[in-house]
Amino acid sequence: MDPEPLNSVDWRATSLTLRWIWFIVIFTFGFSTVMVLTHAMIPSLLDSGHIPDGLRERVRKLRFPLYATALLFIAGIAVWFWFAADSAHELRRIWHRDWI
């Protein structure tokens, strides 16, 4: 069975689903950036001595808020994934087969 022609409601549902997917991509890049900074760069800079002695303790204390920010990004990914999955059900009106 071939798909039906798209109308404005179908295009709206498709654009909404794609918007949620783009938010997932953006939040994933944010999460990965914060995790690389927190889990790789800061400890490396501290161990190598590239951070001056006066700033070492401040930088160590900065890791906790960055981990909290990473958790917020994960929560955002979960929320946007929920919205994307919910709006993807609308696409079944256009294309009835799950696997192409």
pLDDT by residue (tens digit) across 60-85?
Answer: 999 999 999 999 999 999 999 998 88
Specify whether the CB–CB gap between 28 and 84 falls below 8 A.
Answer: no
The chain-wide mean pLDDT, for the chain, equals 88
pLDDT at position 94: 72
d(CA 28, CA 51): 28
pLDDT by residue (tens digit) across 6-27?
Answer: 788 888 888 988 999 999 999 9
DSSP labels, 51-78: S-GGGHHHHHHHHHHHHHHHHHHHHHHH
Q: What is the distance between the terminal CA atoms of the chain, rounded to a whole angstrom?
A: 12
pLDDT at position 44: 94
Residue given tokens 């991509």 in the structure block: 25
- CB atoms inside a 10 Å sphere around CB 89: 10
Specify whether the CB–CB gap between 7 and 90 falls below 8 A.
Answer: no
Backbone phi, psi, residue 89, to 5°: -65, -25
- pLDDT grade for 29, boundaries at 50, 70 and 90: very high
Residue given tokens 């798209």 in the structure block: 6
- pLDDT grade for 89, boundaries at 50, 70 and 90: confident
